Copies of this chain bind each other. A is one copy, B any other.
């Protein structure tokens, strides 16, 4: 499915008639805007009164995540970032690009090894090149703590080096960061780079909490945990995340490149997450089974703990800590998925 869906106040062009994009300069483009984090960013931008164009191939994004914007200035362009012409067309009238689209499944990279290369690195190149062609100079990018690989310093600050990702997903995020700073340095783009902790919350379409709930839906007596359960990571609530992204763009001029870790000060273990999820479902007597080993899959980092001092001292403090974010996410996904506690 490829095409343009216009929601809300935007006049629909008659089929086949080429028209200029109907927005004044100042629109925001959100790639992956129908996805998990992207759709929350659209919510936040709309709440600020901004006009938004979403670019999404709907591979993991869902139109229903944007349903609430039927009356807002939100336009959805359904296309793939690998289609250069369409990406270039989508740049008209754009002031800021929020580039969030990516392959959301880190593990998929192991099986089809060019997934992250295409959906990550090449897609970012296309976005940057389309921006350059159209004279759009502001880009906010969702990178990942995966760029750090197995860091030797905890918590890991933005100044940590060398960044040696161990997953193909992390490699594509590092590659995209480099492309963005090169575009900034060579062609004058302004860039904000956000290295995300594990982001969780409503509309999640993947990740450990999502997996656990789906496993419990299939078998409510037994929960399989990949690894030994001791993997430990920073989590951040998705609403906190998009607030932090906009906070950084607001306060930081992005000249050169402004790079921040986005997360909370603590970590939480996979075993603790399993317990929180089981509690959220209301299930009793669930047996936790561990597959063993210190990581869930090849390329999984056993411990991720971000130093978020830079974010916090910029004046932003997330509303939820890791545990709170995981609990809130488990509750909302249980109710979204409709997993009910047995009565």
Give A231-271 interface residues, CB cut-off 8 Å to B.
256-257, 259
Q: A-side binding surface: helix, strand, loop or mixed?
A: helix
Neighbour of A113 across the interface among B132, B160, B171, CB < 8 A: B132
Q: How far does the Cβ of A106 sit from chain B's closest Cβ, in whole Å?
A: 10
Query: Are the CB atoms of A182 and B168 closer together than 8 Å?
Result: yes
How far apart are the CA atoms of A170 and B162 in the complex, in Å?
15
Bound-complex Cα distance A171 to B170 (A): 15
CA gap between A182 and B171 in the complex, in Å: 6
- Would you call A178 and B299 a contact (CB within 8 A)? no
A117 within 8 A of partner (CB): yes
Question: Which among A125, A167, A170, A175 has the highest number of chain B CB atoms within 10 Å?
Answer: A175
CB <8 Å contact, B181 and A164:
yes
B149 touches A168 (CB 8 A): no
With A175-B175, A175-B178, A178-B170 known as contacts, the answer to whether A257 contacts B187 (CB < 8 A) is: no
In-complex Cβ contact of A182 among B182, B256, B299 (8 A): B299
Give every chain B residue within 8 A of A299 (Cβ-Cβ): 182, 185-186
Mark A160-180 against chain B: 1 for CB-CB distance below 8 A, else 0: 111111111011101101110
Which chain B residues border A121 with CB–CB below 8 Å? 117, 121, 175
Give the distance in Å from the alpha carbon of A170 to the alpha carbon of B174 in the complex. 12
- With A170-B178, A171-B175, A298-B186 known as contacts, the answer to whether A164 contacts B129 (CB < 8 A) is no
Identical chains bound together, number: 2
The interface residues of chain B lying within 8 Å CB-to-CB of A125 are 113-114, 117
Which chain B residue shows the least CB distance to A148? B161
Task: Look across to chain B and name the residue whose beta carbon is closest to the beta carbon of A146.
Answer: B182
Residue of B whose beta carbon sits closest to that of A159: B161
**Cβ-defined contact, B182 with A178, below 8 A:** no
In the complex with contacts A163-B162, A174-B178, A149-B186 CB distance below 8 A: no
Q: Check B161–A181 contact: CB distance below 8 A.
A: no
Query: Is there contact, CB below 8 Å, between B298 and A149?
Result: no
Interface residues of A in 153-207 (CB under 8 A from B): 158-168, 170-172, 174-175, 177-179, 181-182, 184-187
Contact A185/B161 with A113-B132, A179-B175 known, Cβ cut-off 8 Å: no
| CB-based contact B186/A109 at 8 Å | yes
Cβ contacts A299-336/B at 8 Å (1 or 0 each): 10000000000000000000000000000000000000
Residues of B within 8 A of A160 (CB): 159, 161
List, in ascending order, chain B residues with CB within 8 A of A298's CB.
185-187
User: A117 vs B175: C-alpha distance in the bound complex, in angstroms?
Assistant: 10
5 contacts between A and B (CB under 8 A): A109-B186, A117-B125, A164-B185, A172-B178, A175-B179
Nearest 5 A/B pairs, CB to CB: A166-B185, A161-B161, A175-B175, A171-B178, A171-B182
